[in-house]
Every structure is written in C-alpha cells, then in structure tokens.
Structure 1
Amino acid sequence: MSAYNWQKSSYSTEGANCVNIAAAPDGTLRLRESDDPGVILAATRVGLSALLSSIKELDIAGA
C-alpha cells in the first residue's frame, strides 16, 4: 500500500474523532476514521460529493 498524504478538517480539534481524506494516485479518494486508521474506504469524487449532499439535506430536514 502506498503512503497517502492524509488531511483532516480544520474544524477538527486535537484528540477529536474525525475523518481523514487523501487523494490516491488513480484519482480516487481514500477515507479513514482517526480512531481506526487501518480501515480505508475508496470513493470517487462524484460519489463522495453525492454522499455529502445527501447528508446536508438530512441535516436541514432535521433542523
């Protein structure tokens, strides 16, 4: 497995659980949770964008 340049949101504080994201050489994205960095998910940019849009809609509906 190649080494990824993992990034986390600037909204995350030290010690907080967060999702890290990295770009893979093939153009897809890699996601992992800081609590379990050994489990890595792959996603396309379109797929991740659709997921985030859905989450935003759910948040607005729940407000």
Structure 2
Amino acid sequence: MSDRLVWRKSSHSNSEGGNCVEVAVTPETVHIRDSKTPDPPHLTLPAPAWSAFVGALRARES
C-alpha cells in the first residue's frame, strides 16, 4: 500500500529539503513518516484520530 501513497512534505520544511514530517492521506487513514527514513514502517492512524489530533493542536495555538 505505501508504494501507492502520495506523500506531501510539511510546509515547515526548508528549501533544501531538510528533515521533516511527510503525510499521505486516504479516505480512511493518514500515514505519517520521517523524511529521513521514508521506507516502512510508518505511523498509520484512522482519519478521525488524525483530525482530532490536528484539532487539538489548533485549539492550543489560539
């Protein structure tokens, strides 16, 4: 499955492609990996859990 995922780098990545978090999203799951180690394994979460995590981070920023 991971070879068919489309990975996106964090918007906080530097212009030289520095170390960052990459995310690939499917309707059911969100996959997270470190750009320094793109080969599996990577973290896979149910989409609702990821949404809750991001929502909590955003609430903390306000």
Q: Normalized against structure 2, the TM-score is what?
A: 0.64
- Describe the SS at the equivalent of 2:13: coil
Map Cα deviations across residues 1-28 of structure 1 (whole Å, 9 max, x no partner).
Answer: 540221113442233222111135x731
Task: Flag the structure with more relative contact order, 1 or 2, with Cα contacts below 8 A and sequence separation at least 6.
Answer: 2
Q: Say whether 1:54 aligns with 2:56.
A: yes
Equivalent residue runs for 1:5-44 within 5 Å:
5-13=6-14, 14-24=16-26, 27-38=28-39, 39-44=41-46
Aligned length: 59
Give unpaired runs (5+ residues) of structure 2. Answer: none
Partner Cα distance (2:2, 2:61) in 1: 35
Q: CA RMSD in A?
A: 2.3
Segments ≥4 residues shifted beyond 6 Å: none
- From the CA coordinates, give the structure whose radius of gyration is larger: 1
Partner Cα distance (1:34, 1:48) in 2: 19
Q: Normalized against structure 1, the TM-score is what?
A: 0.64
